[in-house]
Amino acid sequence: MTSATEQAADPSTVDESLVSVHDLKVHFPIKRGVILDRTVGYVYAVDGVDLSIRRGETYGLVGESGCGKTTFGRALLRLVEPTSGRAVFDGTDLSTLRGESLRLMRRRMQMVFQDPMSSLDPRQSVESILVEGMRAHGLDEGTESTGKRLRELLSAVGLASTSLRKYPHEFSGGQRQRIGIARALAVKPDLIVADEPVSALDVSVQAQVVNLLEDLQQEFGLTYLVIAHDLAVVRHISDRIGVMYLGGMVEEADSDDLYAEPLHPYTRALLSAIPVPDPEIEDRRERILLAGDLPSPANPPTGCRFHTRCPWRQAERCDTERPVLREILPGHKAACHYAEEIREGRILPHEVRAEVIATDLSSDIEISTPASVTEIV
């Protein structure tokens, strides 16, 4: 992958990519002691992610809970300060921005949070919530002009203008999510990071919100980073998909290519868990049961971080050498040493030994130890 520095220097690349991330890391310190407050370790929430988002596309970021996808989205917007790495937005290195320059740049990058009830101030009316951002960025052009803008925003997200005087508790979950989307749109952004935008909603409401996001993208020329764990939703809305596991990117491809032929064992396991309504297809398709739980991000496995749960693990290399995200097929990348061999059937799946997590109280850092229980994959 081209580095963020090279992309920022190449006008043709910058014109195509709105967002370029290179080796982004977010490590949270583990503190111990009341008086000394010393650091005894780190939680490696995001550990070296490379990613590029083209203008006008929808990039889906998926993975199980705790893999670091939400932290990545927040670090991209500088809501969480990255430990290291670079995030370039429209040719500007965000790590160089401070104070007023960062505040002005944030108008172009907005976020729709996972829980709309906790992200909306219960003491503010919808009108106050929407106007607050506009006023902060100098977009409040007077009572009449702003009122017209607010009504247009509510109409765009499918809410009546009478909603302006109401408060968040007076709306359903789906309606609150629409208010959160309207708040993001109020400052006319170029990029919206949508963190689990439909995970807390009923299935019928999920479809409405997903269709709304697509319509708004066409109307306003938006670029989306959609963070989710529901693979069906991500497939429907995304142009490209990245799969994260334990702080790192393990696969990236166009949506159709990834679902047609996943190359990383973790992606294959995720797709095999999606229920299929047709019994004949369900009986024929690949089934992968992952052993054990997600390892602790405070003490990730050495080598390939998926090797503790991987049915295709080759201990001599997987346990010691961390794979890099590389192109296996045209436009299809995977971070797996043996992706080609697995794809061609030259390496077959085998039994996986589960692991339990024990805690070393002397250091407050979790340590993985083998268990005696095994699961057949």
Q: Please report whether residue 301 resides in a domain.
A: yes
* Residue from 126, 88, 76, 112 nearest 3 by CA: 88
Same domain, 152 and 19: no
pTM metric for this prediction: 0.85
Of the two residues 286 and 330, the one the predictor is more confident about is: 330
Which pLDDT belongs to residue 355? 57
Alpha-carbon gap, residue 151 to 118, rounded angstroms:
24
Q: Please report whether residue 71 resides in a domain.
A: yes
Flag whether pLDDT at 6 surpasses 70.
Answer: no
Mean pLDDT in residue range 168-180: 91
Which of the listed residues 187, 219, 248 is the one where a domain comes to its end? 187
Q: Report the b/e string of 270-300 with b at 16+ CB within 10 A.
A: bbeeeeeeeeeeeeeeeebebbbebbbbbbb
Of the two residues 375 and 17, the one the predictor is more confident about is: 17
Which pLDDT belongs to residue 272? 84
Same domain, 58 and 206: yes
Same domain, 90 and 167: no
The domain that holds 52 is classified in CATH as: 3.40.50.300
Helices 203-220 and 173-185 pack at an angle, to 10 degrees, of 10
Alpha-carbon gap, residue 164 to 130, rounded angstroms:
9
Same domain, 178 and 263: no
Same domain, 180 and 281: no
Same domain, 256 and 142: no
- Domain extent, residue 321, equals 2-108+189-364
Number of domains in the chain: 2
Coil, strand or helix at 40: strand
Same domain, 316 and 195: yes
Q: Please report whether residue 238 resides in a domain.
A: yes
Same domain, 160 and 195: no
Per-residue pLDDT tens over the stretch 63-93: 988 899 999 999 999 999 999 999 999 999 9
Q: Please report whether residue 236 resides in a domain.
A: yes
* Residue from 225, 160, 162, 156 nearest 190 by CA: 225
Which of the listed residues 127, 155, 187 is the one where a domain comes to its end? 187
CB neighbour list of residue 63: distance below 8 Å, 6 or more residues apart:
69, 229, 243, 244, 245
Alpha-carbon gap, residue 299 to 322, rounded angstroms:
15
CB neighbour list of residue 100: distance below 8 Å, 6 or more residues apart:
none
Per-residue pLDDT tens over the stretch 258-282: 999 999 999 998 888 777 766 665 5
Q: Please report whether residue 262 resides in a domain.
A: yes
Q: Please report whether residue 349 resides in a domain.
A: yes
Per-residue pLDDT tens over the stretch 197-222: 888 788 888 888 889 999 999 999 99
Flag whether pLDDT at 22 surpasses 90.
Answer: yes
Same domain, 60 and 200: yes
Q: How confident is the model at residue 243 (pLDDT cuts 50, 70, 90)?
A: very high
Same domain, 245 and 154: no
Which of the listed residues 187, 206, 233 is the one where a domain comes to its end? 187
Alpha-carbon gap, residue 221 to 215, rounded angstroms:
10
Helix ranges (DSSP H) in the chain: 4-9, 11-16, 69-76, 99-106, 116-119, 126-136, 143-156, 173-185, 203-220, 231-237, 255-260, 265-272, 279-284, 315-318, 339-343
Asked if 24 contacts 86 with a C-beta cutoff of 8 angstroms, the reply is yes
The DSSP bridge partners found for residue 266 are none
The DSSP bridge partners found for residue 111 are 193
| DSSP class of 372 | E
Q: Please report whether residue 370 resides in a domain.
A: no
Same domain, 157 and 291: no
Q: Please report whether residue 377 resides in a domain.
A: no
Q: Which amino acid is at 25?
A: K
Same domain, 268 and 166: no
Q: What is the DSSP string of 219-260?
A: HHT-EEEEEES-HHHHHHH-SEEEEEETTEEEEEEEHHHHHH
